[in-house]
Chain A
Amino acid sequence: MAKLRAAAVSFLNARPLITGLAGSERIELVLAEPSACASMLERGEVDLALLPVGALAGKDFEIVPGIAIGADGPVQTVVLCGEEPPARWDEVYLDTASRTSVVLSKVILSEMGLSPRFTPLPAAEGVPLAKGQKGALVIGDRAFDVKSRVVIDLGREWTSLTKLPMIFALWAGRPGALAPEDVAELTRAAQHGLGIRSEIALAFAKEKGGDPEKYRRYLTQRIRYGLGPYELTGVETFLAKAAQKGFLPPTKLRFADDVVRTRRIRRQVSLDNALQKAADGVRLDADEAEALDEKAPLLELGLAADLRRRALHPDGVVTYIVSRNVNYTNVCTTACHFCAFYRPRGHGESYVLTREQLAAKIEETISLGGIELLLQGGLHPDLGVEWYEDLFRWVKANYPTINLHALSPEEIWHIARTSQLTLDDTISRLVASGLDSIPGGGAEVLDDEVRRRIAPLKCSTDEWLTMMKAAHRKGLKSTATLMFGVGEEPRHRVNHFLRLRELQDETRGFTAFICWTFQPEHTRLEPGDNSAHAYLRTNALARLVLDNVPNFQASWVTMGGGVAQASLHMGCNDFGSVMIEENVVSAAGTTFQMDSEEVERHIRDAGFTPMRRNMRYEHVGAAA
């Protein structure tokens, strides 16, 4: 098979995306400057390119979802420079290597009410001329070394103007050129490269000189590689502004599809046999689970799951916990397509909670009988392990009775990376400073075909499980989750269950399983079947397949109390937590609320005895 030809720049910020393509059997790399990448794609000399966003204008190139090079705030490597403030400039030399930044310069200066003459000139010639009434645009690694008196960071300007990230380049191909496997290959390469950013920084410093630590910070904290809802809005806003000012023709974004369809051959399964087996506690295999997922009626799954629940929890008790869900920051770099909660760092609505805010929340929680803090947040590029250690020690020093149920695997992975620690060391340090248990969030669907499509920059299935295993080994208990209804297929959900079951056989670290459906409001991801019916079926099937997970939580937060009550009759034995605060799901439109009294009314009305519990599912006293 002929390889696809891909044009890309060799700038430092592109290296995490292209390093992993060395030796690729599908894609051959051609290195060029940004403007040349664009023209080679336009002339058909390459099939795809790491394309300056400006080059999308008026073309029908197809964007690879999920990956881009951008910044939310200062970018450092796209700057206007001169010796006088821009209001004095009558001419600006535009770096001929650039495509997008040329337009960005015009947009930004025009927003400042300035309209100097623009003259294309290579940066090597332009920068020395940028004196008096002349300014110059410099892009790429050369900008690290600009020493002018006035330096305007165009990333910073854009974000303060629009409150959106600025995306400079993304992978895009000729219409129809990219097969799903190619998209997968680009994503794989990106995941590989993003994981070795420290090494890339070191190699770059050796090659070009300079401080490796500066380069590392640039790659991990300045540049963002996600292309999610905010980033796409950034792209659209940039193209729209440029079109409105007449700098570019109008453009509608198009995307390359990336769903890979591979099917394993499945043997014939008798639904009735599989249901009987499962109801009696016999372990289901993948074929049986998949057949049930595809075809079994809701109430059949429900009746079987109810038998399992009765066997595991014969006392008719349904537990719940008084806990508060606190999201310490909404700043995140993974830009997942299903998320309506995250904000880029420079965004006006971004936040990191202060100690005062946290104290108020914890004190209110304790006054409501709360015993646990569920602390989760985005992947904030500036927060290292010390920040978390300080936070946990502070919580434990001031509120010693509170159980710290904190940090999903993805966050711990992120802390390890930003602090350049091993996973084991990271977990040990977090435990030493007060971490008690971890939530099972961020699992989404543990199947890389799905993850790549909905959250390309999130950790892979193996990484998530590796992290969980490491945590369980250190004695931490966790929950396990599934977020579905994102257009995945039965086999993906079954893979998810089987991977969890396998790890649970090994570690016994999962205390409970909870699933919920994708909530699409304010996100850009098209939902699959995310209905209540799908929730009840999937939950019941999970109860049957996950024979080694002791507890199942009903998700009334997403489904409402009534559907959650139905799930108590189809596999669940726990009603989760009362709701003092929740931000992530409610950002996507769901607004169910219940206090202790209401939770207990729902449990009793459905025929069960309510009981409060702790994170280890030990009963901690009778009902309120």
Chain B
Amino acid sequence: MLSTLAHRALERDGLADIRDKVLEGGRLGEDDALRLFEVKDLAAVGALANHVREQRHGDLTFYNRNVHLNPTNVCVASCKFCSFARPDDRHASEGYTMSLDQAVEHVVSKRPLGITEVHIVSGLHPDLPWSYYVETIRRIRQAWPELHVKAYTAVELHFFAEKFGKTHEEVLRELVEAGLTTIPGGGAEIFAPRVRRKICDDKATADEWLSVHRTAHRLGIRSNATMLYGTIETLAERVDHMARLRALQDETRGFQVFIPLAFHPEHNMMGKAFPKPTGYDGLRTYAVARLFLDNFDHVKAYWISLGERLAQTSLSFGVDDVDGTVLEERIYHMAGAKTPQALSEAQLHRLIRFAGRVPAERDSLYRVLKVHALPAPPERPAAARLPVSA
């Protein structure tokens, strides 16, 4: 139940109509979302988003145990916000391309760690053959059949289709046959053509991105959706982005989770002109997303980008998923992320529990594997410690 204090605050802010829509299960319009973005009352908007979050999931907070694989950072696209891509894989430009063996080994070597998912995202490499992408998945699944493969953003899938003369459907069917199970949400950036022209002119358009996901959903492949915020987009363009996702979701019900991603300014072409969006901007974006995207089950905070403190705080602002243990993240760290490159499961539990929530390990399809209702033992660093028994 929404508290008296929350009612008071929302009424004071002139948001009573939005509150009523939310409480009655109605749908917010784009103008409503824009008002929620602009009102600058984080606690009130947060309380409303938290209300929806708790109605859907109670205190459950989802995470998975995953490993990232970025087989190459060589990319023909020239997205201005990216610090990861390199034009080629010569040594001097810090470009790299893993051999098929290396890529498979990178993943399979993690087998003893109890991981359930590999997340594969790459650059758009000009020379790698189609078989490289198919065989990466096939060989990982051969070596580790129960591992869930979440692979290739819509931007990559569209690139494959164009480069290898296939339809989106053919690309997807061949990858599914090799073992792909879901599609990550990356590459969406901001759908508005004005923004895309300026920050990522030479990769899949919004329609192409949406078309890949529509096709995937039709083939029974679930997928995720992202939004890159904090570059040159207006708040209205953020709302437009979410509206287009909501419309496709009405059509297909194939999206599992919405993941707002903060722009990171270091080591890329935009960093000098645009600072990193503040934590406030992140928190209100999660809250508005939770309220506006009424047909998305989950809203995820990617702790790699936010840091542990903000990720934990977001759990009171509409977020119910904190991503995973994320072994060996590269993309955000090349853009200056100061966060650790992995969190242990115990650290994730601590983060979730201290936010008053209950950790629930999920698989890639958001099926709950285990609810950790009992406190995990506190982390004890190896160094000698004084006893504290509180």
Contact = CB atoms under 8 A, between A and B. Distances in A.
| Most B Cβ at <10 Å: residue of A279, A297, A562, A570 | A562
Given A565-B280, A606-B278, A525 B388 contact: yes
24 contacts: A255-B387, A276-B5, A299-B47, A300-B6, A303-B5, A303-B43, A303-B44, A303-B47, A306-B9, A337-B386, A488-B390, A524-B384, A529-B354, A531-B351, A533-B355, A534-B354, A560-B307, A561-B278, A561-B279, A562-B280, A562-B310, A562-B313, A598-B275, A601-B275
A536 B282 CA distance: 17
A307 interface: yes
Contacts of A566: 42, 279-280, 283, 313
A306 B279 contact: no
Contacts of B309: 531-532, 559-560, 562-563
B170 to A, nearest CB: 44
Contact of A489 (B4, B356, B390): B390
B4 A272 contact: yes
Interface of A: 65, 232, 236, 253, 255, 257, 259, 272, 275-276, 279, 297-300, 302-304, 306-307, 337, 453, 486-489, 524-526, 528-529, 531-534, 536, 559-566, 569-570, 591, 598, 601-602, 605-607
B117 to A, nearest CB: 26
Given A272-B4, A297-B356, A299-B6, A560 B386 contact: no
Given A259-B388, A562-B310, A275 B5 contact: yes
Contacts of A563: 279, 309-310, 313
Contact of A533 (B5, B40, B356): B356
Contact of A303 (B9, B40, B312, B388): B9
Contacts of B325: none
B387 A257 contact: yes
A564 B310 CA distance: 10
B42 to A, nearest CB: 4
Contacts of A272: 3-4
Contacts of A570: 43
B233 interface: no
Nearest to B49: A299
Given A533-B356, A560-B309, 19 more contacts: A253-B384, A255-B386, A259-B389, A299-B46, A524-B383, A528-B388, A533-B316, A533-B355, A560-B307, A563-B309, A563-B310, A564-B279, A565-B279, A565-B283, A566-B42, A566-B313, A602-B280, A606-B280, A607-B41
A320 to B, nearest CB: 15
B278 A562 contact: yes
A487 B390 contact: yes
B89 interface: no
Given A566-B313, A606-B278, A486 B388 contact: yes
Contacts of A307: 5, 8-9
B223 interface: no
Nearest to A304: B5
A337 B387 CA distance: 11
Nearest to A254: B387
Closest 8 CB pairs between A and B?
A: A562-B279, A607-B40, A487-B390, A532-B309, A565-B280, A569-B42, A531-B354, A303-B5
A577 B351 CA distance: 28
A168 B320 CA distance: 54
B367 interface: no
Interface in B343-390: 350-351, 354-356, 378, 380, 383-390
**B9, B47, B316, B388: residue with the most chain A Cβ atoms closer than 10 Å:** B388
Contacts of A255: 386-387
Contacts of A606: 40, 42, 278, 280
